[in-house]
């Protein structure tokens, strides 16, 4: 029996109550959860809310899915919890996670912006300026006007993005930007679609807001436009300039096609331009927003790759037709990015040092990128998406499954990762495909790392 308070977020209540029933043993392992439609009808709630709760339970391992059957409770070993009163002095210990010797994980960065004297100087200058203010004030919800002005100028010159200051929103990281987008469409008039495979960090945020992610096939040249044709009132998430994780580029025909589709079907496109600065052998690809004219494309960018992920600073460029909704929803909110960081970044861009830093970063990562590719010239593997970014995919000519592949890699001290998490339709994920990130592994370790990597591949393909 579930208790629903319609004044609170429905999916959070469902998630918490079902999780509690699983942990308490009320729902036994192997128990099939009620069908999403049945549960929604029984309690008079949205099916999307039920799906979001079930998917969160799935992500956290409380349930599993059986295709064509539904969601089933997983067997969970619940740890013994001693009496807090009799063990108040006990020290909690946890098993230490052992990192691979050579970790080819995607995400973290070796290039350390805090070692850049110019960036540190901008931080200090901004702190000195703020220290002279007679008062410390809250920033408006869309962020520093000065920073937004420089972001607009930079986007126009580098990505041909056309916008005014009011369209730019400075956000506390990439997922905070996605969260804002979700709130602009929370009346459930729109459905959500995403590339499959695609960035799971975006998908999870939409699902937390009650959206049910619809997978759209990624073809050799990007998202399938044919699969979109019969859909209306959609918010579709794409990475057209460097599809994540496959690395393919959406050609001009498809770019114009998806914009035309969005206009005809009252849909919106989220263009995530997450690493457009990091193209190694060609200029950046023209943005969708520049082709659209700002009507249907929500442009999303971040400073995580060009500065540091822990700065938590990204930005949105909203279409003008969404501004009234945004301003109404956030009229009593304030910016959640520290003034110090925003003003330092504004100075960094204005001084020209940001672009200088970008060139240095491209050179740094191109050197690593080229070294790795040079040492992966083999006939028994296929590399995908090697023209840009900080990762690529590898298809290995082997009959082993992904678990066996990763176990052998681990034996040689190599940390690599499956692409399964990025798929909604997991059964389409190739068993022999792995994701190789190279941004965090120290350059000094590359020589030994590539020797071990090739030794592991020799055993896998034997």
Instruction: Quick: pLDDT tens for 13-24.
Output: 888 888 888 888
Helices (H), 106-199: 117-131, 145-159, 174-184
Q: Which neighbouring-strand residues pair with 65?
A: 71
pLDDT band at 429 (very low <50, low <70, confident <90, very high): very high
Output the pLDDT for position 79.
57
Q: What is the pLDDT of residues 254-302, one digit of tens each?
A: 999 999 999 999 999 999 998 877 888 777 777 899 998 778 999 999 9
Q: What is the mean pLDDT of residues 204-211?
A: 93
Fold exhibited by the domain 10-73:
Arc Repressor Mutant, subunit A (1.10.10)
Domain range 102-112+360-460, CATH class = alpha beta
Which is more confidently placed, 84 or 2?
2
**What six digits make up the tokens of 56?**
């969160």
Q: What is the mean pLDDT of residues 423-443?
A: 93
Alpha-carbon gap, residue 55 to 211, rounded angstroms: 11
Output the pLDDT for position 239.
95
CATH 3.90.1150.10 domain residues, the chain: 102-112+360-460
Q: Is the pLDDT of residue 47 over 80?
A: yes
Enter the pTM of the model. Answer: 0.77
Count other Cβ atoms within 10 Å, centred on residue 54: 24
Output the pLDDT for position 61.
80
Q: What percent of the chain has pLDDT over 90?
A: 60
Q: What is the mean pLDDT of residues 420-430?
A: 93
Mean pLDDT (the chain, rounded): 89
Q: What is the pLDDT of residues 77-130, one digit of tens each?
A: 665 555 545 454 544 445 566 788 999 988 888 888 888 899 999 999 999 999
Q: Is the pLDDT of residue 447 over 60?
A: yes
CATH 1.10.10.10 domain residues, the chain: 10-73
**Whether the Cβ atoms of residue 271 and residue 287 lie closer than 8 Å to each other:** yes
CATH number, span 117-354:
3.40.640.10
HSE-up (13 A, CA, CB side) for residue 31: 13
Alpha-carbon gap, residue 243 to 223, rounded angstroms: 9
Output the pLDDT for position 434.
94
């Amino acid at each position: 029996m579930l208790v629903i308070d319609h004044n609170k977020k429905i999916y959070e209540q469902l998630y918490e109550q079902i999780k509690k029933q699983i942990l308490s043993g009320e729902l036994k392992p192997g128990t099939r959860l009620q069908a999403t439609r049945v549960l929604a009808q029984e309690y008079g709630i949205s099916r999307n809310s039920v799906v979001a709760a079930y998917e969160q339970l799935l992500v956290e391992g409380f349930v599993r899915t059986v295709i064509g059957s539904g969601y089933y409770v997983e067997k969970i070993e619940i740890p013994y919890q001693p009496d807090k009163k009799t063990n108040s002095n006990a020290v909690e210990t946890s098993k230490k996670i052992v990192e691979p010797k050579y970790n080819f994980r995607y995400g973290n960065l070796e290039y350390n912006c805090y070692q850049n004297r110019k960036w540190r100087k901008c931080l200090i200058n901004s702190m000195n300026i703020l220290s002279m203010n007679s008062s410390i004030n809250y920033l408006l919800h869309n962020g520093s006007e000065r920073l937004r002005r420089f972001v607009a100028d930079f986007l126009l010159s580098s990505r041909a993005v056309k916008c005014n200051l009011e369209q730019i929103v400075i956000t506390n990281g990439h997922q905070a930007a996605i969260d804002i987008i979700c709130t602009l469409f929370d009346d459930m008039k729109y459905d959500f679609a995403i590339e499959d495979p695609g960035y799971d960090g975006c998908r999870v945020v939409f699902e937390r807001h009650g959206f049910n992610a619809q997978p759209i096939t990624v073809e050799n040249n990007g998202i399938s436009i044919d699969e979109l044709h019969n859909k209306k009132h959609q918010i579709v998430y794409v990475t057209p300039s460097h599809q994540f994780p496959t690395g393919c580029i959406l050609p001009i025909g498809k770019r114009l096609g998806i914009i035309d589709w969005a206009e005809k079907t009252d849909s919106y496109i989220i263009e995530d331009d997450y690493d457009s600065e990091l193209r190694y052998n060609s200029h950046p690809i023209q943005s969708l927003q520049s082709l659209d004219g700002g009507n249907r494309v929500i442009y999303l960018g971040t400073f995580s790759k060009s500065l540091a992920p822990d700065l938590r600073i990204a930005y949105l460029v909203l279409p003008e037709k969404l501004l009234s909704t945004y301003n109404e929803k956030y009229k009593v909110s304030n910016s959640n990015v520290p003034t110090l960081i925003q003003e330092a970044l504004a100075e960094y861009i204005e001084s020209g040092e940001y672009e200088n830093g970008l060139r240095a970063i491209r050179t740094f990562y191109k050197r690593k990128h080229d070294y790795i590719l040079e040492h992966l010239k083999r006939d028994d593997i296929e590399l995908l998406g090697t023209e840009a970014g900080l990762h690529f995919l590898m298809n290995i000519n082997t009959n082993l499954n992904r678990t066996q592949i990763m176990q052998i890699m681990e034996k040689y001290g190599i940390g690599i990762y499956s692409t399964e998490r990025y798929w909604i339709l997991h059964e389409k994920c190739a068993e022999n495909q792995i994701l190789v990130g190279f941004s965090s592994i120290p350059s000094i370790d590359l020589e030994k790392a590539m020797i071990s990597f090739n030794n592991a591949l020799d055993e896998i393909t034997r």
